[in-house]
């Protein structure tokens, strides 16, 4: 039996007293490709926001397999101010940016006399750094920038456009 990735159990959503849907149940299994079709205003985007857990149902429950990663392209994307095409694309995997920040913080601590003059404290920082680095490798962090550039190129963004404000 296929693994259930997403399950909506009798969910209801209303906006300002207007019922968009109610008692809606839906299950998505691993390997399925699903198209969601309906007239404008039917509630397709609302349903996707429920699955993404960006919105809670008024009634019923939403379930997502733990550890499932989920990407959603907003129908009306808000492009971040001050980002370039490349820097915005680099935000695609926030977990990698978070590990890079952790590594930078730990490296800054290693250069602090309050840390490196205290063997026990330094050992703790080194151990944390080693752990973060292993995690970074696992996420393919060292190749991340080149993967992002490769994807941009394949999407038709020429290198000359990477510094263009994404807005």
Q: Which residues are at the interface with ligand ADP (CB under 6 A)?
A: 15-16, 20, 38, 40-46
Q: Which of Mg ion, ligand ADP, none sits in contact with 15, Cβ below 5 to 8 A by type?
A: ligand ADP
Residues that bind Mg ion (CB under 5 A): 44-45, 75
Q: What is the dihedral of CA 61, 64, 67, 70, to 10 degrees?
A: -120
Residue 44 vs 149, nearer CB to Mg ion: 44
Position closest to Mg ion via CB? 45
Residue 97 to residue 103: CA distance in whole angstroms:
10
Instruction: List for the chain the helix, strand, coil content (%; round to 5).
Output: 45, 20, 40
How many residues are given for the chain? 167
- Give the distance between the most distant pair of CA atoms in the chain: 67
Say which entry of ligand ADP, Mg ion, none residue 31 contacts (CB below 5 to 8 A, set by partner kind).
none
CA distances from 101 to 90, 96, 136 (A): 14, 9, 11
Whole-number minimum distance, CB 14 to ligand ADP, in Å? 9
Looking at beta carbons only, is 44 or 129 nearer to Mg ion?
44
Q: How far is the CB of 4 from ligand ADP (least distance, A)?
A: 23
Residue whose CB is less far from Mg ion, 21 or 162: 21
Give whichever of 66 and 75 is closer to Mg ion, judged by the CB atom.
Answer: 75
Other Cβ atoms within 10 Å of 106 Cβ, number: 20
């Amino acid at each position: 039996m296929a693994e259930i990735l997403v399950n909506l159990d009798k969910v209801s959503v209303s906006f300002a007293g207007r019922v968009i849907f109610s008692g809606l149940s839906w299950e998505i299994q691993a390997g399925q490709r699903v198209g969601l079709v309906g007239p404008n205003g039917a509630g397709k985007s609302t349903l996707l926001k429920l699955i993404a857990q960006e919105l809670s149902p008024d009634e019923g429950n939403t379930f997502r397999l733990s550890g499932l990663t989920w990407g959603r392209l907003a129908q009306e994307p808000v492009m971040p101010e001050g980002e370039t095409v490349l820097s915005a694309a680099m935000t695609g995997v926030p977990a990698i940016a978070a590990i890079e920040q952790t590594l930078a913080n730990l490296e800054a601590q290693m250069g602090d006399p309050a840390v490196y003059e205290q063997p026990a404290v330094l050992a703790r920082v080194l151990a944390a750094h080693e752990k973060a680095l292993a995690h970074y490798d696992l996420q393919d962090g060292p190749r991340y920038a080149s993967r992002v550039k490769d994807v941009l190129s394949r999407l038709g963004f020429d290198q000359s456009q990477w510094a263009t404000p994404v807005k």
